[in-house]
A and B are shown apart, each in its own frame.
Chain A
């Protein structure tokens, strides 16, 4: 037994064991909700620090090969994605603190489920085999289904949960079917081996693999809510408790991309061109439809949900570009995921903080004059909107820069222009909020029940706001402090580790 290699899996083990531990603890009356919140935080933190041990190293390995064969992989790539997922979970748990305390219906099991879904997501980026990936996907999804519907007295929650459950299961079935086709065509479901077999098959009939790959991509497109599988997004995001929405929008997408990038870059590489036209159509439709949906929304939460579809469109632009500009495009996806994750997390988190009590305040009009009463919160919300819109000096801008550069490098200037057009329309729905917050006088009385800036949640959001700005300005002024360059370099390193033979 190679016990040493257990170290590689340590973050995964910590989260998994932590989830089980919290589940076992949950019937105990003595342990309070606050304790659970703290435990979750500590578990995630220790997993993150275990993960950081390998951060920045270029390596790849199959730990415990006797037991797992090649089902699990640990490389710089998975370490990087783990770091993003764990930070996402960490931030969610910090931001959620206030929300979970306010809303009494959250039970202790929630935290266990939360950790299980994090575990599933981490497992997904470690998965080196299609069935393992499916299991990981289902672990993450099942936990999320329950987390969405946790407040069972609320119709909207139950509806969202049910909708996601049904549609998600169907898309999961596509994944299984696709895997079966691929297995029929290649005789293996192990990543790496699939690529080699496929290489040998080139020139012969590969239609089974194409069909299988398409089915797998259907699941992928569904989970990242690309056209034509976007319809669930708005209802589910809107129906979920806000911290859960933030978690889904930001973190789950990271994990999905983490796996699919691996699959596409290594294994389906020889036949990837086949899907190019399909993807271009999907991108255009996603950008167009997402933009349309975002413009017509009255509710801020629904707008953010709709705009997440547009952001999926940007990510897909980079995704098709990997065929011709592999390194730039893949690292741009990774970077953009971080950028989107920070901005969306901040935006959702702040709105959830503002609307923490039962007075639901989430439409545009509700924010009229907000800046004059709560200048700091309004400033933070503006920063997140600017970042989502991709205005310079925010991380969102740098993210867009990478994506569009990658697209042009790959020869998809046309797509970059489409992305740009979507960006400039997006100015409207993001700036509308800023305009409403700042340019109208406030009605003092309306804002009495907004919690003041105290506690962990606002501090966390404040730090995210700073990170958003920092990511956009980078390390010009303070040398040796991780900034833009550090993130993109790490992304490149993780990309390189995929190709270590």
Chain B
């Protein structure tokens, strides 16, 4: 049996991690090996990107039967939407390694990072719902370990909290998945958990379908997090180590949105359209609510945590706007926001390493001490706020357009509320970085060479995608058209 390229992307980090666990290597070589693996995966992802055909169909498919008596298979594939997230992960993770290069001295940190990468890729490629759930939940274990082992503050409590919280959501999704499987069995006489089979089910009554819809939605809403399922967010983000926050905010949260598009749209097209208004409204509400919550934070990590949740609300609103602008904007913002927030959290991690954990009022005047740091910080921040010339601007514009087409009132509202981010982001930039203060920041050092190199691709992408968005949009457009026209049956206006 030949092993496909997607399987290699999934299992290379996992296998490496297991080997590293068994071989008594010190931390440094472990880190180097892990970094090498992430580069190898970047190369593979690049290969996929260049060989990806411009259709809405699934490509690079792999299929092996797994539990035959229940029709469960190991089936993988990617379309345009998963492709961009793959590229995102493949680019971000090596960067993260470079930024964490000196931060972490423990071997198990790097091993857990490898496991997380495997889990993320598995979730991204799965076309069988059982397999998807498998990775979705398995992904949680290394996150559990990384926060519990390397976090700060009341880390054990926050680890248990996020674990139990997310598992609660995903267990309801699990019941929904099983219900779909059983419904398929009763309707067609054979077991299957493949997405392509489950979409054919017609026998489920509307009431049950709504419950199933919300079973799935709960899992994704917790992971994203959507209002009101965010109560794990603040504590987890502020107690996690830099790598953990980075993965949670810039990758795993996006997987929530991804799964929403990948599974909920084909499985519940009618409900997706029917409930779209609520979710657009909920997304915009989250945008405002978390934005206001961010303003009141004095801890920079907590502020970015809320800012991240605020943007994810916006992304969700775009997904539910049911048109190509909204969806494309969401896809674009997923990338833009992942890069920018990821970068910001990594930079905050660098700052914490030099200065310790401090509130915003305890900072100031970093710009003169660390010009490179300030430059990168500014680029990421501009992207988050959506300054023209960055990809954040393009994304937010598209989503606002999309929502405007969906519902003009909500569109106007969303356009206005995008400003919320500007208010606190510029304030923190000014207060913590630019303006000199009496606080002692003499321990702050500028970025090292590793860090400058590591952040370069991110900054480059922000600007490149901002100036020339088509470079990126053309790969994903056929997929989104396919979702809208063929599955949701809403025309492109």
When the two chains form their complex, are residues B182 and A408 in contact, meaning their CB atoms are under 8 A apart?
Answer: yes
When the two chains form their complex, are residues B64 and A476 in contact, meaning their CB atoms are under 8 A apart?
Answer: yes
Residues of A within 8 A of B210 (CB): none
Q: Which residue of A lies closest to B155 (CB)?
A: A439
Residues of A within 8 A of B182 (CB): 405, 408-409
Residues of B within 8 A of A393 (CB): 134, 138
Jot down 24 A-B pairs with beta carbons below 8 A, ordered by A. Answer: A391-B138, A393-B138, A397-B134, A404-B174, A405-B70, A408-B175, A408-B182, A409-B185, A409-B186, A421-B171, A423-B171, A424-B167, A428-B160, A428-B164, A431-B164, A432-B160, A438-B145, A438-B148, A440-B156, A474-B66, A476-B66, A476-B74, A484-B67, A489-B69
- Given the complex of chains A and B, what is the CA–CA distance between A405 and B175 in angstroms? 8
When the two chains form their complex, are residues A416 and B138 in contact, meaning their CB atoms are under 8 A apart?
Answer: no
When the two chains form their complex, are residues A391 and B67 in contact, meaning their CB atoms are under 8 A apart?
Answer: no
Q: Which residue of A lies closest to B157 (CB)?
A: A435
Interface residue B141 (Cβ < 8 Å from any Cβ of A): yes
Task: Write the residues of chain B forming the contact surface with A, with a CB cutoff of 8 angstroms.
Answer: 1, 64, 66-70, 74, 130, 133-135, 137-138, 141, 144-145, 148-149, 155-156, 159-160, 163-164, 167-168, 171-172, 174-175, 178-179, 181-182, 185-186
| A424 touching B164 in the complex, CB below 8 Å, given contacts A409-B185, A435-B156, A474-B66 | yes
**Contact with A386, one of B135, B141, B171, B175 (Cβ below 8 angstroms):** B141
Residues of A within 8 A of B144 (CB): 431, 434
- Given the complex of chains A and B, what is the CA–CA distance between A398 and B156 in angstroms? 28
When the two chains form their complex, are residues A417 and B175 in contact, meaning their CB atoms are under 8 A apart?
Answer: yes
Chain B nearest CB, measured from A87 CB (Å): 22
- Given the complex of chains A and B, what is the CA–CA distance between A120 and B472 in angstroms? 70
Majority-rule SS of B interface residues: helix
Per-residue CB proximity of A381-395 to B under 8 Å, as 1/0? 000001000011100
Q: Which residue of B lies closest to A484 (CB)?
A: B67
When the two chains form their complex, are residues B69 and A488 in contact, meaning their CB atoms are under 8 A apart?
Answer: yes
Task: Write the residues of chain A forming the contact surface with B, with a CB cutoff of 8 angstroms.
Answer: 386, 391-393, 397-398, 401, 404-405, 408-409, 413, 416-417, 420-421, 423-424, 427-428, 431-432, 434-435, 438-440, 474-476, 479, 484-485, 488-489, 492
Chain A nearest CB, measured from B65 CB (Å): 8
When the two chains form their complex, are residues A420 and B174 in contact, meaning their CB atoms are under 8 A apart?
Answer: yes
| A404 touching B163 in the complex, CB below 8 Å, given contacts A476-B66, A488-B67 | no
Name the residue in B67, B68, B138 with the highest tally of chain A Cβ atoms < 10 Å from its Cβ. B67
When the two chains form their complex, are residues A404 and B175 in contact, meaning their CB atoms are under 8 A apart?
Answer: yes
- Given the complex of chains A and B, what is the CA–CA distance between A386 and B178 in angstroms? 21
- Given the complex of chains A and B, what is the CA–CA distance between A431 and B156 in angstroms? 10
When the two chains form their complex, are residues A391 and B171 in contact, meaning their CB atoms are under 8 A apart?
Answer: no
Residues of A within 8 A of B156 (CB): 435, 439-440
- Given the complex of chains A and B, what is the CA–CA distance between A485 and B73 in angstroms? 12
Q: Which residue of A lies closest to B11 (CB)?
A: A477
Residues of B within 8 A of A386 (CB): 141
| A439 touching B178 in the complex, CB below 8 Å, given contacts A409-B185, A484-B67 | no
Chain A nearest CB, measured from B304 CB (Å): 25
When the two chains form their complex, are residues A420 and B67 in contact, meaning their CB atoms are under 8 A apart?
Answer: no
**Contact with A431, one of B163, B171, B175 (Cβ below 8 angstroms):** B163
Q: Which residue of A lies closest to B136 (CB)?
A: A392
When the two chains form their complex, are residues A485 and B69 in contact, meaning their CB atoms are under 8 A apart?
Answer: yes
Closest 3 CB pairs of A and B: A439-B148, A392-B134, A408-B182
Residues of B within 8 A of A392 (CB): 133-135, 137-138
Known A-B contacts: A397-B134, A401-B70, A423-B171. Give 13 more (CB < 8 A): A401-B178, A405-B181, A417-B175, A420-B171, A420-B172, A424-B167, A438-B148, A476-B66, A484-B67, A485-B66, A485-B67, A485-B68, A492-B69
When the two chains form their complex, are residues A408 and B179 in contact, meaning their CB atoms are under 8 A apart?
Answer: yes
**Contact with B167, one of A404, A405, A427 (Cβ below 8 angstroms):** A427
Chain A nearest CB, measured from B21 CB (Å): 9
Chain A nearest CB, measured from B291 CB (Å): 31
Chain B nearest CB, measured from A475 CB (Å): 8
When the two chains form their complex, are residues B175 and A435 in contact, meaning their CB atoms are under 8 A apart?
Answer: no
- Given the complex of chains A and B, what is the CA–CA distance between A435 and B148 in angstroms? 7
- Given the complex of chains A and B, what is the CA–CA distance between A397 and B185 in angstroms? 21
Residues of A within 8 A of B160 (CB): 428, 431-432, 435
Residues of B within 8 A of A420 (CB): 171-172, 174-175
Residues of B within 8 A of A416 (CB): 175, 178
Q: Which residue of A lies closest to B69 (CB)?
A: A488
Residues of B within 8 A of A492 (CB): 69
Residues of B within 8 A of A432 (CB): 160
- Given the complex of chains A and B, what is the CA–CA distance between A113 and B156 in angstroms? 45
